[in-house]
């Protein structure tokens, strides 16, 4: 996913940042996310798109890497969708990664999801998705 860009890519961060959970909580929170994901599917707690949105958000919130957490979280959500034969979200990665309207909208959606309001993030997933 990151190619030869960063030698630390894919390695769990070992320092605390001003975003994400404390470094010592990363593994615990990722395990809880995996457990919750299994329960959401088993008990049909949420629709598939809601599951992918919550997976996306929680992965970003844990923030296990120094950088690339949004890309990683979007990839995880797409893997989850594809696992159940749903179309992946076709994110405009160039636009999300650079300053502009789409990035501002994406960041606002993530921040709103921090308050357990997933409406904007769900809207973005739907906007850039094929049929679910």
| pLDDT tens track, the chain, 132 positions | 555 666 767 789 999 999 999 999 999 999 999 999 999 999 999 999 999 999 999 999 999 999 889 999 999 999 999 999 999 999 999 899 888 999 999 999 999 999 999 999 999 999 999 765
What was the pLDDT predicted at 73? 97
- The answer for 38, left when phi > 0, alpha when psi is -120 to 50, beta otherwise, is alpha
Phi and psi at 89, nearest 5°, equal: -80, 130
Domains defined for the chain, CATH in brackets: 23-127 (1.10.3290.10)
What was the pLDDT predicted at 51? 98
To the question of pTM greater than 0.85 for the whole model, the response is: yes
**CB environment 20-55: b (16+ within 10 A), e (fewer):** bbeeeebeebbeebeeebeebeeeeebebbebbbbb
Instruction: Give residue for tokens 């929680």.
Output: 58
What was the pLDDT predicted at 10? 77
What was the pLDDT predicted at 109? 98
Q: Cα–Cα distances in Å, from 68 out to 1, 26, 79?
A: 9, 15, 16
What was the pLDDT predicted at 1? 52
């Amino acid at each position: 996913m990151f190619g030869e860009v960063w030698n630390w890519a894919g390695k769990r961060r070992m320092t605390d940042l001003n975003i994400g959970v404390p470094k010592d909580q990363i593994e615990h929170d990722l395990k809880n996310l995996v457990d919750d994901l299994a329960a959401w599917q088993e008990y049909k707690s949420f629709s598939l798109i809601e599951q992918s949105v919550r997976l996306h958000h929680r992965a970003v919130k844990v923030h296990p890497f120094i950088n690339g957490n949004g890309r990683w979280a979007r990839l995880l959500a797409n893997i989850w969708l594809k696992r159940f034969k749903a179309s992946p979200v076709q994110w405009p990665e160039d636009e999300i990664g650079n300053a502009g309207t789409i990035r501002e909208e994406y960041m606002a959606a993530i921040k709103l999801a921090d308050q357990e309001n997933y409406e904007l993030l769900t809207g973005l997933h739907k906007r850039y998705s094929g049929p679910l």
